């Protein structure tokens, strides 16, 4: 069985992430989308909240599992017996960052973990979780960035109730 892990912060998951998830699920038999539990960052949503949101957002895709991890990605991948990590590329800036992480993970894992990149679909190229949070914090429109149920949860974090 061909399996992959899509690791990320997903704070919150956007249409850009969901597009990568759907396309990757068509390539692999099983895809685990895994939320990093990073104690160094203060996220908008807790790991438990992000896992629940991802479960709801991907409930119609049969070969998806949602999980979380802490520590090094290579250790998590080894524990799961998975040899491919999936990442999305939007622009050159993503490429520089992602290339370094991919090469580090390949070296650190003794060649056991490869990274596969999917380029963003053009309509989602501008999307990022950070911009979703910034726009929502000023009660701006994020309907083009995230599914409706996620938008409501994001606004609520900033004290805005939207119908």
Residue 78 annotated among the catalytic residues of the structure: no
The alpha helices in the chain, defined as continuous H runs, are 15-25, 47-57, 73-80, 92-108, 129-137, 148-157
Residue at token pair 């190229």: 125
The answer to whether the beta carbons of residues 100 and 91 sit under 8 Å apart is no
56 is in an annotated binding site: no
Q: Which is nearer to ligand COD, 7 or 84 (CB)?
A: 7
In angstroms, what is the minimal distance from the CB of 161 to ligand COD? 26
Q: Which is nearer to ligand COD, 73 or 82 (CB)?
A: 73
Minimum distance, C-beta of residue 163 to ligand COD, in the bound complex (Å) = 27
The response to whether 125 counts as a known ligand-binding position is yes
Q: Which residues bind ligand COD (CB under 6 A)?
A: 7-10, 14, 16-17, 20, 36, 72-73, 87-88, 90, 94, 101, 104-105, 120, 124, 127-129
Task: Enumerate residues 6+ apart whose C-beta is below 8 A from 82.
Answer: 3, 4, 5, 32
């Amino acid at each position: 069985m061909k399996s992959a892990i899509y690791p990320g912060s997903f704070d919150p998951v956007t249409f850009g992430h969901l597009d990568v998830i759907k396309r990757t699920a068509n390539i692999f038999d099983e895809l685990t989308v895994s939320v990093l539990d990073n104690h160094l960052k203060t996220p908008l949503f807790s790991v438990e909240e992000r896992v629940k949101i991802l479960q709801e957002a991907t409930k119609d895709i049969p070969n998806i599992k949602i999980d979380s991890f802490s520590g090094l990605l290579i250790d998590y991948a080894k524990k799961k017996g998975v040899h491919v990590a999936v990442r999305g590329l939007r622009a050159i800036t993503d490429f520089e960052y992602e290339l370094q992480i991919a090469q580090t993970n390949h070296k650190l894992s003794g060649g056991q973990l490869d990274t596969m990149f999917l380029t963003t679909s053009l309509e989602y190229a501008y999307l990022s979780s950070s911009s979703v949070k910034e726009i929502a914090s000023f009660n701006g429109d994020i309907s083009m960035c995230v599914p409706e149920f996620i938008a409501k949860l994001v606004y609520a974090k900033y004290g805005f109730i939207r119908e």
